[in-house]
């Protein structure tokens, strides 16, 4: 029964994540969803800034602290190891849902591109960014990244093994194509409000810091193989790999 419940929990956590991910596209781009980065109750500027920064800080802290090996070692004393990743995914999704719900708009226009061709190009880059994010997860192991592989192995009574180190497709040209995709999607704004700019600046800062922390962890676990990969491959912006 415990194994079955683990699978059910993992599937639910994944479903919550996937809906949250799809909503993020609408939230940032103000497409289809009932509330986006430019929508919500009118709030005095200082109050709006304080609330938005608290929400962004909560996401950054949760996302980074829970991803560190030291925290995982402590956390798995309370949370069963097979559902540790699913729990991380679930909590990250819930923090994002809180951000969507409580976000306060800052409607002042920073730029507004009206030229049809350029505006269309920006929308294209916006969509490309999200597509890169999603495809990049499958180029490593989408189901391991979001906890489904762990609970599936546990359900079948098999020990978890780390996903082999891969440098295929996008990862040949960038060590962090997921983060690069996010940057494209966040900055490609035909209409940039102060609220979206705050969101974009904060998430860009977080991505730059988190990328360094993740790479430090990768070098610790993967050793010389990752250090050699790091030496020949661009950190974020896709570039031809350096010849050794």
Q: For 18-33, what is the mean pLDDT?
A: 96
DSSP 8-state code for residue 172: G
Q: What is the pLDDT of residue 40?
A: 83
Q: Which region among 71-80, 92-101, 102-111 has the lowest average model confidence (pLDDT)?
A: 71-80
The mean pLDDT value for 159-171 works out to 89
pTM > 0.85: yes or no: yes
pLDDT of residue 151: 95
Q: What percent of the chain has pLDDT over 70?
A: 99
For the chain, which residues make up each domain, given as ranges? 2-232
**Per-residue pLDDT, 64:** 84
Rounded distance, CA 199 to CA 74, Å? Answer: 31
By DSSP bridging, strand 191-193 and strand 109-112 are antiparallel
* 128-150 mean pLDDT: 95
Q: Measured between alpha carbons, how far is 153 from 141 in angstroms, rounded to an integer?
A: 14
pLDDT in tens, 149-162: 999 999 999 999 88
Q: Is the pLDDT of residue 226 over 70?
A: yes
- At residue 77, the 3 state secondary structure works out as coil
Strand partners, 112: 191
159 DSSP assignment:
-
Classify residue 1 as exposed, middle or buried by CB count within 10 Å of its CB (0-12, 13-18, 19+): exposed
Q: Is the pLDDT of residue 72 over 90?
A: no
**What's the rounded Cα separation, in Å, for the pair 221 and 228?**
14
Residue 33 has pLDDT above 90, yes or no: yes
Residue 128's pLDDT is: 98
pLDDT tens-place string over residues 178-216: 999 999 999 999 999 999 999 999 999 999 999 998 999
Calculate the CA 7 to chain-centre distance: 23
Decide if pLDDT at 176 tops 70.
yes
- Give the span between the Cα atoms of 126 and 4, in whole angstroms: 39
Mean per-residue pLDDT over the chain, rounded: 93
pLDDT band at 1 (very low <50, low <70, confident <90, very high): low
Comparison of pLDDT for 158 and 64, the residue scoring more: 158
């Amino acid at each position: 029964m415990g194994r079955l419940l683990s699978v059910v929990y993992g599937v639910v956590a994944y479903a919550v994540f996937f809906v949250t991910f799809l909503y993020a596209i609408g939230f940032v781009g103000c497409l289809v969803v009932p509330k986006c980065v430019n929508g919500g109750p009118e709030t005095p500027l200082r109050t709006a800034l304080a609330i938005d920064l608290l929400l962004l800080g909560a996401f950054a802290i949760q996302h980074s602290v829970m991803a560190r090996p030291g925290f995982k070692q402590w956390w798995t004393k309370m949370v069963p190891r097979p559902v540790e990743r699913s729990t991380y995914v679930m909590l990250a999704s819930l923090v994002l849902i809180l951000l969507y719900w409580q976000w306060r708009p800052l409607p002042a226009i920073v730029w507004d591109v009206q030229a049809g061709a350029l505006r269309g190009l920006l929308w294209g880059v916006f969509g490309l960014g999200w597509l890169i994010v999603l495809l990049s997860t499958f180029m490593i192991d989408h189901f391991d990244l979001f906890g489904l592989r762990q609970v599936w192995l546990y359900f079948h009574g098999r020990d978890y093994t780390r996903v082999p180190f891969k440098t295929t497709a996008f990862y040949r040209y960038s060590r962090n194509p997921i983060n690069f995709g996010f940057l494209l999607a966040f900055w490609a704004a035909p209409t940039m409000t102060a609220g979206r700019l705050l969101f974009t600046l904060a998430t860009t800062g977080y991505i730059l810091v988190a990328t360094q922390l993740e790479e430090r962890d990768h070098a610790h676990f993967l050793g010389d193989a990752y250090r050699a990969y790091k030496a020949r491959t661009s950190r974020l912006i896709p570039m031809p790999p350096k010849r050794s």
